[in-house]
Structure 1
Amino acid sequence: MSNAPIPSKSEELNAVIAAYLQAVEQGTPPDQEDFIKQHPLLESELRTFFSDLVKLPLPETDDATEDFAASYDSSRVIGNYELVQRIGSGGMGEVWVAKQSKPVKRRVALKLIKAG
């Protein structure tokens, strides 16, 4: 019997979402329904994750959106996060693939909320 720790559900979810975000970054995003079927024990959490992405559709370009997008670029570091790629945008802000450096190194989805 192995003494290796069993990953918690949140650790497993983080790893699965990181794999999805890595595929997005590489330009080969998996079909969301197929991805959910591959991880049935995380179905509810993945549906919530994908629902949040759907709530941030790419808007029509306007000056406010352009100003907001211009304030961030793919080399920008915010706290412990390095922005990698924008994956969604909406009236409230943007969602980016980011690399978290502390307390652990991992890929995350980072929501940036517009000021005001």
Structure 2
Amino acid sequence: MQITIEPLRLEDARAVVEAEDEETVRWLSEEKSTVEGTTKFIARLAREAEQDKPKRVFGICLDGAFVGTIDFDPDVTDGLEAGDVNIAYGVDLSVRGRGVAAQAVDELSSAPHRSL
């Protein structure tokens, strides 16, 4: 099982929406995403990265197949200590319980964030 993370691309929008379920919506987004809205979100993230804003969102791939997202945001301060970073992730129901999210967190933690 090979887990990789890559910056979200516009063409990932449909896969992001398809990987969502009720639990993902409950914990991360509060409402079901649409391909159109997700495409706009990914485009905004790209613009913000060009402006050196720190939030980054990545696609999680399992053996090359898109299975979820993981992001980090050092600007979130609610409940965090100075210097901490908020990490949020969601993976497709079909891969939950297999360590995919934990490995994605490891990948994110060891990656040079701004170069991904």
Do they superpose with TM above 0.5? no
Higher relative contact order (CA 8 A, sep 6+): 2
Per the normalisation by structure 1, the TM-score is: 0.29
